[in-house]
Amino acid sequence: MRAPARAHRRADRSAVLRRRVGRGVSGVQRFALDGQVAVVTGGGGGLGSAGARALAEAGADIALIARNRAKLEDAAGLVEETGRRALIVEADVSDAAGMVAAAEQVAAAFGRVDILFNNAGITNPQTVLDVDPREFLRVLEVNVAGAFHVIRAFAPSMIEHGYGRIINMGSILSGRGMANRAAYCASKAGLANLGAACAFEFGGDGITVNTLGATVIVTDLNRELVRTQPELYARIVQRTPLGRLGETEDVMGALLFLASPASGFITGQTLFVDGGYTAG
């Protein structure tokens, strides 16, 4: 009975979808998120907290998910400064049951989910021969399986009301290699293709799924690596047409676009935010 019910909901959604994808709306209103609810994983980190604030400034209430409560509270403060509501959920994305519980908590607080920013991620800068297999698998567990658990937990709410934007935080390394980054490269390739598969599965439900392919964005995750490996990052800058590494604010425009009604006919794609690094 589940499939026919889902098909019936799809048939009744045309008016909702026309309103939510921005038809009949012009200019900056296509990018407005007024009254929407966004979930941000890795919500206590640099990109997560910046993304949460940007989505809140566009009008969304925010549910922040991460393991570090102190950082979550700081991020919640940034959201509340905009006048929007913030919910803190202390949880680990690699815990499937924990993500189901998180989805229930968000539903109780906000009623639904419109936007999911799958931002939680870790790295392990070691060679294939040096890395402990358990540490290699931990990167995959967080960066790929974690995103899978989050999507499984929150997509049903989007399916129920026939609208959603899922944005995965990927990397330029999803399609190319780099020494000492085997686990990270493998995880980001998997994440991009998970997003593409979900785009096919959820397209009929009014849900788009895209990936942000970022260059090195200086955050808490990699700041120490940038400091201790200046030659590596100098080579990246040299290859980048815009001549610098990325900052968190460089990602926000692309995030808001993919989260907004303006991107309603874009799905299954990787949007590179890399200063031109992948152009050549």
pLDDT tens sequence across 82-113 = 999 999 999 999 999 999 999 999 999 999 99
Handedness of CA 170, 73, 35, 2 (dihedral sign): positive
Lowest mean pLDDT among 23-27, 89-93, 145-149, 269-273: 23-27
Q: Active site residue: 163, 184, 233, 277, which one?
A: 184
Query: Rounded CA gap, 106 and 115, in Å?
Result: 12
Instruction: Note the pLDDT of residue 105.
Output: 98
Instruction: Note the pLDDT of residue 180.
Output: 84
Instruction: Note the pLDDT of residue 220.
Output: 73
Instruction: Note the pLDDT of residue 272.
Output: 97
Can you give the pTM of this predicted structure?
Answer: 0.91
Which CATH entry fits the domain spanning 29-217+249-269: 3.30.420.10, 3.30.43.10, 1.10.390.10, 3.40.50.720? 3.40.50.720
Query: Rounded CA gap, 19 and 164, in Å?
Result: 13
Q: Compute the mean pLDDT over every residue in the chain, rounded to the nearest whole number.
A: 91
Neighbour-count burial for 226-263, b at 16+ CB within 10 Å, e otherwise = eeeeeeebeebeeebeeeebbebebbbebbbbbbbbbb
Residue 15 has pLDDT above 60, yes or no: no
Residue 60 has pLDDT above 70, yes or no: yes
Query: Rounded CA gap, 208 and 204, in Å?
Result: 9
More confident residue, 149 or 30: 149
- Give whole-number Cα distances, 109 to 17, 86, 106, 172, 186, in Å: 24, 10, 5, 36, 36
More confident residue, 269 or 224: 269
Query: Rounded CA gap, 167 and 211, in Å?
Result: 5
Instruction: Note the pLDDT of residue 3.
Output: 47
277 has catalytic annotation: no
On whether the CB atoms of residues 219 and 46 are closer than 8 A, the answer is yes
Largest CA distance in the chain: 59
Tokens 């998997």 label which residue?
190
Each residue's pLDDT tens digit, 126-184: 999 999 999 999 999 999 999 999 999 999 999 999 999 999 999 999 988 888 889 99
Query: Rounded CA gap, 223 and 200, in Å?
Result: 36
Tokens 């808490």 label which residue?
220
230 confidence band (pLDDT: 50, 70, 90): confident
Instruction: Note the pLDDT of residue 8.
Output: 47
